[in-house]
Amino acid sequence: MSKRTIITSLALIVVGIIFGAILVSNIGGGVVEGLAGEGTKVKLGGPAPLSAPNQSLKAMSDNFVAAAKGVTPSVVAIEATSPGDSRAKEMPRDFFHFFNPDQDPGPSRGYGSGVIITADGYIATNSHVVEGAEKGSIEVTLHDKTRMRAKLVGTDPSTDLAVIKIDAKDLPAAALGNSDDVQVGEWVLAVGNPLQLTSTVTAGIISAIGRNIRIIEDSYGIENFIQTDAAINPGNSGGALVNLKGEVIGINTAIATTNQRYQGYGFAVPVNLLKVVAQDLIEHGEVKRGYIGVSINAVDPTTGKAMGLKEGKGVFVQRVIPGGAGDRAGLQTEDIILSVDGKEVNEANELQAVVATKRPGDVVTLKIWRDRREIEKKVTLRPREEDRATASASDSKDEREAPEASANSEVRFDAIGMTVRSLTSQEKRDLDIESGVLVATVVPYGEAFNRNFRQNQVIVEADRKPVASAGDLKKIMDSHKIGDAILFKVRADRQNTIYLSIELPPAQ
């Protein structure tokens, strides 16, 4: 190795040592003590990735901030003590859950939220938050941490809404919006006290409207929930669902979950329903709600086709309560209600929700599909108690006996997977029915099964024609071609008549 080569190599080693020392002294930005020189100032962080934020995004963010600031002072925390196992009984048995905090069958302390709706202390919440609470046990904590006792004004289990009252003045009442204007995809905030974390705000969108999750056990329960993916948990119950104007559009009520915690979807009672319920509870101590007096279900495409509609829309009248508001106005079974006061209804709960905002004596205009044409009926709503009384009075039996049909004749309808046979005279007496044919067998997952036909039902009409024997039904079925839809009037049991429809499928 030459002398020049040795000198060059030594020089490179010296340069490397110096460069390495400089590099090590800067690693960690001054975190490693003693590597930076004494008194050396270390600069932390780097330049912003954006020189200026996108103005549209900033404006949207500002809307979120303003809405949260505006409504949070109007949302309170509620604590209520239950003396026994009433709260344990409220625990759900399926996929959908109220925000119930305590399963202990003994005395329990429940936590929820509420929304101030008047400056003098009326607060809206959920019925399941305060129902069954001991007198004097309801406590409210305001946004400024002031704690006050509240009295229960009233509850409405049919909507899971309640109103409580604190003795206060000049409170920040929330702005109440119009839930009829809510649209899927709209940004919303959920404000409440989940898991005892006070004044928590989460964000999401409206993911569906008009949801019926069958969580309210009251037979007259009204479910027309707004669905959101804003995170809500136990303790949010009774809190506010808010639009970006800072208006309350719903009262958070339930979650879809398998573990009683947030898994993606929550449900809120629309604020327009709250307005009516709260006003009644404050003014009268109870809800004065009008009813049409009908049993209804949604119309699917097959039923719509059977009734001459081009599509499945509206709600089908299965039964009209004798003496009720609908009966007095001339409604009939097999009517299809298309709209109420100009508002289209395509689900039973949609019709219930519209009518639930009305009171006894109010007049609603129904657009009805009957005999393959549209007609209008004006219905003066009546209170529920009168409908119940007239329904009981209508339960008297008709003892007329129908003549014997061809007793044991049986007909198979292989295309739809169902067999029927004629009723004997004794069976007619036992079933308290004049005529009809018994559904003897239904093939599992066949066409009839999929349309809710079941063994031991009795078909009394087909295609709006009476059916006295299995032969009668065969004639009616044979008069239709593949693709036709047929409506059936069916006795599900001794008390209940339902309507089912079926579209004749191609031969297998």
Residue 237 is among the residues annotated as catalytic for this protein: yes
Query: Residue 203: which of 247, 152, 256, 241 has the closest Cα?
Result: 241
Q: Please answer whether residues 66 and 246 qualify as being in contact, where contact means their C-beta atoms are separated by less than 8 angstroms.
A: yes
Which helix (H) or strand (E) segment holds residue 26: the answer is helix 3-26
State the catalytic residue, choosing from 97, 108, 128, 280.
128
Alpha-carbon distance values, 452 to 81, 327, 383, 416, 505 (Å): 45, 27, 32, 12, 16
Candidates 127, 237, 339, 469; catalytic one: 237
What torsion, rounded to 10 degrees, do the Cα atoms 15, 16, 17, 19 define? 80
The CA distances from residue 478 to 403, 462, 465, in Å, are 25, 12, 14
Active site residue 144: no
- Could you confirm whether 430 is annotated as catalytic? no
Residue tagged active-site, from 156, 160, 280, 387: 160
- Sequential DSSP letters for 322-343: TTSHHHHHT--TT-EEEEETTE
Question: CA nearest 150: which of 114, 174, 108, 100?
Answer: 114
CA distance 181 to 171: 27
Q: DSSP for 42-96?
A: PPPS---S-SS--HHHHHHHHHHHHHHHHHGGGEEEEEEEESSSHHHHHS-SSSE
Strands (E), 410-479: 410-413, 418-422, 437-442, 458-462, 465-466
**What region does 220 belong to: left with phi over 0, alpha with psi -120 to 50, or beta?**
alpha
Enumerate the active-site residues.
128, 160, 237
